[in-house]
């Protein structure tokens, strides 16, 4: 059972609870990116079990007629066990999702996984996608020095790309360390994508300056995009934006919610204040 203070960031332990949350979001014009919490599995049973859960979830989404897709983590689908395990498991999940007409996002983990993740994404995007319909998407991180090259490489791949600042503590050899530098990079990446991509841009940020920049670029180039934000973060803004632009909320669920919840808690002082208010009841 998830305690009330974590409910803000996690939709529940079961897929049914996650889809109830998605139903409420859809009622407010926001679509959902549903993620089963889990990462860094070192043996096969949890990999198989989460892959089966995603395949079942794709079926549930299709039958429920909800506006939702799924997002998977490479190390949840076996990357720590080897690239071949990851690619095989991901291909299974994507194959089933395509059968159900459900879109699959691939989250990006730390820089040691970038090549394997982009290679797996590109292969599946080319196998299942075409100019009329994208079936898979991948996340790229503005803090990584390599990302400008990656974003150029992805320009002609028939899939979506989510742009984020990057959530992992990375060494200076591979990543910008100053937040102002990451912000500049994020804006430059968006400029490239809005000018060159045919659409399929996910703007994964809660930062108003990044959101405003994306809207300006959309006005200038007309390229399709969607705003993407996390469950529990700036939700009023999400609902306000959804009146004018496509907005999708990243909705985590599952019984491994503790580490995700504590990560959100330690990221922002305002979240800690929120948690304390919930505990002391004021």
For ligand FAD, how many residues bind (rule: CB under 6 A)? 24
Rank residues 47 and 275 by Cβ distance to ligand FAD and give the closer one: 275
Binder among 85, 167, 174, 278 for ligand FAD (CB under 6 A): 167
Give the C-alpha separation, 281 to 275, whole Å: 10
Give the C-alpha separation, 278 to 282, whole Å: 7
The distance of closest approach from Cβ of residue 104 to ligand FAD in the complex, given in angstroms and rounded to an integer, is 13
Give the C-alpha separation, 165 to 186, whole Å: 7
Binder among 126, 168, 216, 278 for ligand FAD (CB under 6 A): 168
Compute the chain's Rg from CA coordinates: 18
The distance of closest approach from Cβ of residue 167 to ligand FAD in the complex, given in angstroms and rounded to an integer, is 4
Give the active site residue among 55, 87, 162, 256.
Answer: 162
Binder among 188, 206, 215, 239 for ligand FAD (CB under 6 A): 206
**Under rule CB under 6 A, which residues in 210-249 are in contact with ligand FAD?**
210, 228-230, 233
Which range in 41-49, 60-68, 188-196, 201-209 contacts ligand FAD by CB under 6 A?
Answer: 201-209
CA distances from 70 to 37, 54, 122, 137 (A): 12, 8, 17, 10
3-state helix, strand, coil in the chain (%, to 5): 55, 15, 30
Is-catalytic flag, 107?
yes
Binder among 60, 241, 271, 275 for ligand FAD (CB under 6 A): 271
The distance of closest approach from Cβ of residue 112 to ligand FAD in the complex, given in angstroms and rounded to an integer, is 13
**Under rule CB under 6 A, which residues in 82-141 are in contact with ligand FAD?**
107-108, 139, 141
Give the C-alpha separation, 229 to 252, whole Å: 12
40 Cβ partners below 8 Å, 6+ apart? Answer: 75, 76, 80
Rank residues 47 and 72 by Cβ distance to ligand FAD and give the closer one: 72
Rank residues 130 and 276 by Cβ distance to ligand FAD and give the closer one: 276
Give the C-alpha separation, 259 to 40, whole Å: 12
Give the active site residue among 50, 80, 107, 150.
Answer: 107
Give the C-alpha separation, 80 to 134, whole Å: 27
Binder among 268, 272, 276, 279 for ligand FAD (CB under 6 A): 268
Q: Which run of H or of E encompasses 280?
A: helix 269-280
Is-catalytic flag, 162?
yes
3-state secondary structure of 210: helix
Q: Please list the active-site residues.
A: 107, 162
**By the criterion CB under 6 A, which residues form the site for ligand FAD?**
107-108, 139, 141, 164-168, 204-207, 210, 228-230, 233, 250, 264, 267-268, 270-271
């Amino acid at each position: 059972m998830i305690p009330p203070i974590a409910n803000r960031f996690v939709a529940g332990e079961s897929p049914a609870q996650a889809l109830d949350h998605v139903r409420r979001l859809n009622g407010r014009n926001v679509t959902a990116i549903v993620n089963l919490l889990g990462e860094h599995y070192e043996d096969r049973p949890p990999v198989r079990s989460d892959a089966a859960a995603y395949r079942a979830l794709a079926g549930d989404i299709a039958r429920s007629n909800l506006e939702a897709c799924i997002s998977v983590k490479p190390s949840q689908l076996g990357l720590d066990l080897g690239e071949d395990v990851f690619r095989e498991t991901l291909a299974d999940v994507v194959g089933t999702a395509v059968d159900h007409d459900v879109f699959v996002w691939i989250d990006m983990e730390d820089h040691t996984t970038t090549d394997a993740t982009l290679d797996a994404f590109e292969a599946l995007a080319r196998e299942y996608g075409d100019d009329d319909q994208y079936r898979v998407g991948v996340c790229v991180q503005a803090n990584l020095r390599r990302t400008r090259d990656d974003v150029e490489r992805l320009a002609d791949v028939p899939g979506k790309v989510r742009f984020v600042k990057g959530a992992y503590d990375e060494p200076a050899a591979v990543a910008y360390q100053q937040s102002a530098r990451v912000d500049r990079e994020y804006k430059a990446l968006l400029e490239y994508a809005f000018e060159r991509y045919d659409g399929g841009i996910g703007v994964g940020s809660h930062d108003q300056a990044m959101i405003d920049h994306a809207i300006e670029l959309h006005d200038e180039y007309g390229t399709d995009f969607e705003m993407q934000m996390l469950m529990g973060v700036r939700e009023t803004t999400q609902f306000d934006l959804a009146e004018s632009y496509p907005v999708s909320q990243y909705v985590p669920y599952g019984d491994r919610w503790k580490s995700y919840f504590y990560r959100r808690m330690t990221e922002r002082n305002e979240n800690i204040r929120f948690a304390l208010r919930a505990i002391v009841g004021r």
